[in-house]
C-alpha cells in the first residue's frame, strides 16, 4: 500500500529524562536525535562509522549513533553532548583551544567522557587508543590531547 508510513514507538532515557519518540524503525539513533528530537549537537560526519562525530553514550559506553538503530536503544540510557553541558571535559576543550571549526568536538567530548568514566587516570597511549575512531581535520590533535590532559588533572 502506498502512502502508509510505518513508525515505531521507542522509550528510553535521554540525558537523564524519560523520552518516548515515534520514528521509522529503520532510523538510526543519529537520525532520530537530529531530525525528530532536534538535538543537533551530535554531528553527522560520514554516516558510516568512520569519523566519530556522531558519538554518544549508550549505557555509559561510547557508540557511533550513525550505526545504532533507534530500536536498539529501547529501555536504555542515552547521553548526548547536550547532556554533558558544564562538564569538566567540555570546559577543558574550551579552555585548551581544542575547538576550531568544532564539527568533531561533540564526538571527542563524548568519547573522552566515556574513557574517563571507565578509567579516570588513563595513560596518553590509552587516550590515543580511546580516540582512535575520532577524526579532526583542523587541530592536528595536539590541542585535543592537551584538553584531555587538563580534564584528567582536574
Ligand atoms: S557520522 Fe558516525 S562515525 Fe561518522
Ligand atoms: S575542530 Fe574542525 S574537524 Fe576538529
Higher pLDDT, 55 or 6: 55
Report CA(53)–ligand 2 centroid distance (Å). 10
pLDDT at residue 4 in the model: 73
On average, the pLDDT of the chain sits at: 96
Instruction: Give the three-state DSSP class for 147.
Output: helix
> How many angstroms separate the CA atoms of 141 and 106, rounded?
15
The Cα–Cα gap between 66 and 120 comes to: 27
Ligand 2 pocket (Cβ < 6 Å) reads 99-104, 136-139
Model confidence over 33-56: pLDDT tens digits?
999 999 999 999 999 999 999 999
Q: If you take atom 3 of ligand 1, which residue's CA is the nearest one?
A: 49
What is the set of domains in the chain, with CATH numbers? 8-81 (3.10.20.30), 83-153 (1.10.150.120)
Locus of grid cell 590533535:
141
Amino acid at each position: 500500500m502506498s502512502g502508509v508510513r510505518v513508525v515505531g514507538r521507542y522509550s528510553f532515557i535521554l540525558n537523564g529524562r524519560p523520552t518516548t519518540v515515534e520514528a521509522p524503525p529503520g532510523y538510526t539513533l543519529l537520525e532520530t536525535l537530529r531530525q525528530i528530537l532536534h538535538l543537533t549537537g551530535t554531528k553527522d560526519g560520514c554516516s558510516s562509522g568512520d569519523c566519530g562525530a556522531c558519538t554518544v553514550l549508550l549505557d555509559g559506553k561510547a557508540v557511533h549513533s550513525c550505526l545504532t538503530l533507534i530500536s536498539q536503544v529501547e529501555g536504555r540510557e542515552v547521553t548526548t553532548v547536550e547532556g554533558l553541558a558544564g562538564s569538566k571535559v567540555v570546559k577543558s576543550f574550551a579552555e585548551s583551544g581544542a575547538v576550531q571549526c568544532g564539527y568533531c568536538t561533540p564526538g571527542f567530548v563524548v568519547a573522552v567522557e566515556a574513557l574517563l568514566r571507565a578509567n579516570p587516570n588513563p595513560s596518553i597511549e590509552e587516550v590515543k587508543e580511546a580516540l582512535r575512531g575520532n577524526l579532526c581535520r583542523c587541530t592536528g590533535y595536539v590541542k585535543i590531547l592537551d584538553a584531555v590532559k587538563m580534564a584528567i588533572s582536574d
